[in-house]
Amino acid sequence: MVIVELPSLFTYSNLYTLSSFTAGTSLIVTNNSSFPCFLIQAETIPSESSDAYPLPPGQTTLVQANSFPIWIRGGTGPVIVQSLLETVVPFTGVDLPHDTWTWSQEGFRRRRVDTSQTSLFTGHQFRTFKELSIGAGATYLIKVNVPVDTILWNVSLTVDAGSIKLSTYAGGTPSVTPDDVIPVIPKNTMSSRPEPFYVAQNTLVGEAATLTGGTVIDVARVVTAGATAQQITVGLSQFGERGVGIGEYFWVFSNFGNNGATGVFSAYWEERP
């Protein structure tokens, strides 16, 4: 909460500048002075005669942020300015927050119903993939270093030839130090992500190797029979996600057939530092 004094009854001032709130913040404004205040959202400073929203003494209003500054003028006396997310003084709103609507024009807008996670839009979701080609009786593993709490949303293995067993381990020691870098790709690369853009902390490396020790926490088998086979071990249903604590994990791919096996592994997750 910030208390500001308005510089002029006739000239508009940028309320973000007066209050030091970040531009684009929705503000709750309470007029504690003895004079009416006038509020406008405009790209440039309005003239005194511009149409404005009057805020009588003792009244409170919510100004939903948009891409324009919030301008204010009024007489001497305190004006209380608060962020919508950190309100102290009670207020009455006449509309829902603008970001809960799908459109800005009345008659066409609808309530936003979105099945996606907020983490997608904030850039905290990432994905990976690995094309597999494993000889008979051979093993390939992917080491996953998890330094932050993580929600594993989906793990998928598609096999188009042969038979592959996918085992997930917590801990363990690979026979060879993995150095095959597995890509970590943001699920959302739109510029609308909040800045600074979040950088993935989980890292993945692979190697044609075996694993000793560790604790098996999941197993899936995929066998082809003349057609592509697929197995999903996470994300089969709503709320099928898994919370993964900080640690070191391995995905181990074993060809348990008599011929070479090929396929594609993919996964995506959310990081919660």
The CATH number of domain 124-272, selected from 3.40.50, 2.60.120, 1.10.287, 2.60.40:
2.60.120
Same CATH fold assignment for domains 2-91 and 124-272: yes
CA-to-CA dists, residue 109 to 63, 66, 99, 117, angstroms? 19, 16, 11, 21
20: left (phi over 0), alpha (psi -120 to 50) or beta: left
- Say what percent of the chain tops pLDDT 70: 88
pLDDT, tens digit, 9 for 90 and up, residues 21-55: 999 888 999 999 999 999 999 999 999 999 999 99
In this predicted structure, what is the pLDDT of residue 100? 77
The model's confidence at residue 237, banded by pLDDT at 50, 70 and 90, is very low
pLDDT, tens digit, 9 for 90 and up, residues 46-72: 999 999 999 999 999 989 888 899 999
In sequence order, the β-bridge partners of residue 55 are 37
In this predicted structure, what is the pLDDT of residue 236? 45
pLDDT, tens digit, 9 for 90 and up, residues 105-144: 656 777 777 667 889 999 999 999 999 999 999 999 999 9
Contacts of residue 77, defined as CB under 8 A and 6 or more positions apart, other chains included, come to 5, 6, 31, 32, 33, 34, 35
- What is the Cα–Cα distance from 6 to 38, expressed in whole angstroms? 11
The model's confidence at residue 240, banded by pLDDT at 50, 70 and 90, is low
pLDDT at 97 exceeding the cut of 60: yes
Topology at the third CATH level for domain 2-91: Jelly Rolls (2.60.120)
pTM for this entry:
0.66
pLDDT at 221 exceeding the cut of 70: yes
The model's confidence at residue 90, banded by pLDDT at 50, 70 and 90, is low
pLDDT at 12 exceeding the cut of 90: yes
Spell out the domain ranges in the chain. Answer: 2-91, 124-272
